[in-house]
Amino acid sequence: MTTITRFAPSPTGRLHVGNIRTALHNWMLARKAGGRFMLRIDDTDAERSREEYVEAIRADLAWLGLEPDGEERQSLRLAKYEAAFEALKAAGRVYPAYETAQELELKRKIQLGRGLPPIYDRGALKLTQDERAAKEAEGVAPHWRFKLDHDEPITWDDGVRGAQKFDAAQLSDPVIRRADGSWLYMLPSAVDDLDMGVTDVLRGEDHVSNTAVQIQMFTALIAAQYAAAKMPRFAHEALLVGREGKLSKRLGSLGCDAFREKGIEPQALVALLARLGTSQPVEPIAERSALVDSFDLSTFGRAPAKFDDAELERINAALVHQMDFTSVEHRLPEGMDEAGWHAIRPNLSHVHEAADWWRLVTGPIEQPEFAEDDRAYLAEAARRLAWGDDPWHALTNALKEATGRKGKPLFLPLRQALTGMDHGPDMAELLPLIGEVEARARLVRAAA
């Protein structure tokens, strides 16, 4: 059976780092099995869904290199949900309920006050036909619930969490349809998974109780309408937390746009999130194939996965240091060639910093004030500067012999005079880029 995974965001906002991790792991699961990764836009909430967010989701996945093999939109599949709803209603698995939000909240408070779990009491099932007719005569439109089967425990072998078992009687019958006829998450998601042939549902552990409910929903749908379909496998990964070990609102706002603004490379984000929360080391791996080959749900842990900005920056810098000129040429400042990139690259944490370092070559630079003996030394350097294949080492060797200087007194004044900085790129690579005329002019100016 072809492995089919799906990423199903709601277009009510931008993707955040937790969504990105879920999308990545579903993409990797499909790619490792040679299967298909599907994008499903869960846009049944017409009031909150925005087309601009649909476009942003597509753009973010493209930036990350997570191109889907197909796309579906729930807003175009409403007839499918209607048919499934009618089939479940005919099978006695859905029922109308008339409580208002306030009435349900009061019930929850009473149950909690009695030390009971706040589970829906199935009060709607106790209504007589006349009582239901009276409600509707009053203009009370029902919402609809899926009726769970309390006779059998709900079990599954979770790809991350192992054997799972739920008592259906300890779960509320979920609302699947609002009084205005619009759909909630549960039923459309199950219908789509069966209809699209999804074989593996990999999502956050906050969906574990949803899965327990949906397993019964899958079973009921297969019996009522999808006889040839199979229930998907389920895996629930630990949620992301901040470096301090707590769930953070900040993680909910960290999206691709924020990472792009900071100069984070997409491959750095992928390398970090691919293994975050697993027993495998997080490494600056640029090759997607290597990450895909090592992807294994058995390495995923139960502890919360800690997202650390410092670790992302470390990975990003390491990957920038691996990038060849052709991959970044279009992002570099005008005039910067392959030699310039090679000289400056080891000093970068982000590609956009190349422009700042390139000013050491193009100028102007601001030189420090030099002591009298250093000015004399730099005047000597200007006289001894000779151009060839390796002008830096030729100059420093000549100065060492002529002045007796070595170590920091030999090298630092030269670097300061030529770049205006105490540190930076390898001078043996940088000096040829500055050029003989400009280098001598800088040394003469510093000596003055």
pLDDT tens figures, 381-438: 999 999 999 999 999 999 999 999 999 999 999 999 999 999 999 999 999 999 999 9
Any idea which of 216-220, 240-244, 342-346, 370-374 has the lowest mean pLDDT?
240-244
Structure tokens at 403: 């002045």
pLDDT of 32-86, one tens digit each?
999 999 999 999 998 999 999 999 999 999 999 999 999 999 999 999 999 999 9
Whether residue 249 is predicted with pLDDT greater than 80 in this model: the reply is no
Q: What is the pLDDT of residue 243?
A: 79
Whether residue 247 is predicted with pLDDT greater than 80 in this model: the reply is no
Q: What is the pLDDT of residue 98?
A: 96
Instruction: Tell me the C-alpha to C-alpha distance, in Å, between residue 30 and each of 202, 250, 364.
Output: 11, 30, 52
Question: HSE-up of 263 (CA within 13 Å, CB side)?
Answer: 16
Q: Across the chain, what does the average pLDDT equal?
A: 96
Q: Which residues on adjacent β-strands are paired with residue 234?
A: 201
Is 249 a known ligand-binding residue? yes
pLDDT of 196-206, one tens digit each?
999 999 999 99
Neighbours of 187 (CB within 10 A): 24
Whole-model pTM above 0.85? yes
pLDDT of 356-388, one tens digit each?
999 999 999 999 999 999 999 999 999 999 999
Rounded to 5 degrees, φ, ψ at 168 are: -60, -30
* Percentage above 90 pLDDT, the chain: 96
Structure tokens at 142: 């029902």
Domains of the chain: 362-447 (1.10.10.350)
CA terminus-to-terminus distance, the chain: 78
Residue 40 and residue 74 in contact, taking contact as beta carbons nearer than 8 Å: yes
Separation of alpha carbons 430 and 4, rounded Å: 51
Average pLDDT over residues 436-443: 97
Average pLDDT over residues 139-158: 96
Sorting pLDDT into bands at 50, 70 and 90, what band is 254?
confident
